[in-house]
């Protein structure tokens, strides 16, 4: 079976519980639509679990993007040769921006890792894809963290760049594709007009799977083969 979840945000316990709930096995495939890190308590543990599973495919979210901008700089050993002007004003801005958006837990836990473990995390984060196209249960799906914004009908998906797929959500009142469903995370359904609290939302060939786990909502998982959903209550309440 093919499954999708999103916006785990360091909620390791809920992530493991939901995998148990669906009896996730080696024959299954899971797509994780970004924002694995930040805000919640155990972001590095979630990444380390995912990277050991060859049947889990990660797609990049804006939080991985923010983390990468900073960690690429901070995971390099500072020596006499590179110490001068090592951090630019842009680097400092990236760090501040990430910290203000829940990056502290990721940063702290990353710093406690050995250099080898840090390198494994960096290599894994660099592997995250921009989007995926999947066929399951006789339906076609496009999976992405935010959306394709601004959306231009007929524009090849490969022509959208990173900043157009991770930061903005689609207009759920509009059909984007006639022949496939656009599956997105990023915007919790807790605050989505017309959605039921803590539930995956389907409308106009859109499926919004982020049920706001780290904001006191739930971690949801959607089965692409049959449209079934499962939920685990979030144990943390993060305010912003």
Q: Closer to Mn ion at the Cβ: 61 or 103?
A: 61
Q: Closer to Mn ion at the Cβ: 101 or 140?
A: 101
Q: Which DSSP symbol is given to 68? A: H
Residue 233 corresponds to which tokens in the numbers above?
Answer: 């209550």
Q: Closer to Mn ion at the Cβ: 61 or 102?
A: 61
Closest approach of Cβ 30 to Mn ion, in Å?
18
Closest approach of Cβ 169 to Mn ion, in Å?
9
CA geometry: angle 25, 213, 224, nearest 5 deg: 40
Element (H, E) at 109: helix 104-111
Report the 10 Å Cβ neighbour count for 191.
11
Q: Closer to Mn ion at the Cβ: 153 or 240?
A: 240
Residue written as token pair 């990277």: 51
Which positions lie near Mn ion, rule CB under 5 A? 35, 61-62, 186
Q: Closer to Mn ion at the Cβ: 75 or 169?
A: 169
CA distances from 111 to 71, 106, 121, 123, 124 (A): 10, 9, 11, 16, 16
Nearest residue to Mn ion by CB is 186
Closest approach of Cβ 185 to Mn ion, in Å?
6
Closest approach of Cβ 204 to Mn ion, in Å?
21
Closest approach of Cβ 16 to Mn ion, in Å?
22
Q: Closer to Mn ion at the Cβ: 135 or 163?
A: 163
Closest approach of Cβ 100 to Mn ion, in Å?
14
The pair phi, psi for residue 142, each rounded to 5°, is -115, 130
3-state secondary structure of 31: strand
Question: Using CA atoms, how far apart are residues 142 and 34, in angstroms rounded to an integer?
Answer: 14
Question: Using CA atoms, how far apart are residues 212 and 216, in angstroms rounded to an integer?
Answer: 7
């Amino acid at each position: 079976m093919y499954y999708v979840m999103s916006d785990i945000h360091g909620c390791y316990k809920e992530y493991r519980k939901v995998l148990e709930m669906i009896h996730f096995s080696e024959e299954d495939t899971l797509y994780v639509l970004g924002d694995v890190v930040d805000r919640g308590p155990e972001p590095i543990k979630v990444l380390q679990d995912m990277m050991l599973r060859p049947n889990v495919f990660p797609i990049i979210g804006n939080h991985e993007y923010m983390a990468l901008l900073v960690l690429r700089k901070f995971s390099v050993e500072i020596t006499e040769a590179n110490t001068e002007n090592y951090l630019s004003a842009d680097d400092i801005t990236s760090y501040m921006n990430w910290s203000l958006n829940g990056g502290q837990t990721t940063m702290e836990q990353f710093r406690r890792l050995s250099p080898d473990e840090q390198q494994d995390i960096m290599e894994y984060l660099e592997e995250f894809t921009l989007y995926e196209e999947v066929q399951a249960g006789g339906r076609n799906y496009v999976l992405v963290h935010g959306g394709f914004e601004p959306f231009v009908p007929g524009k090849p998906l490969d022509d959208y760049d990173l900043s157009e797929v991770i930061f903005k959500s689609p207009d759920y009142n509009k059909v984007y594709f006639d022949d496939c469903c656009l599956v997105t995370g990023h915007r919790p359904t807790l605050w989505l007009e017309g959605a039921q609290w803590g539930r995956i939302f389907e409308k106009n060939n859109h499926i919004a799977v982020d049920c706001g786990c780290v904001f006191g909502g739930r971690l949801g998982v959607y089965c692409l083969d049959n449209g079934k959903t499962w939920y685990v209550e979030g144990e943390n309440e993060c305010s912003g």
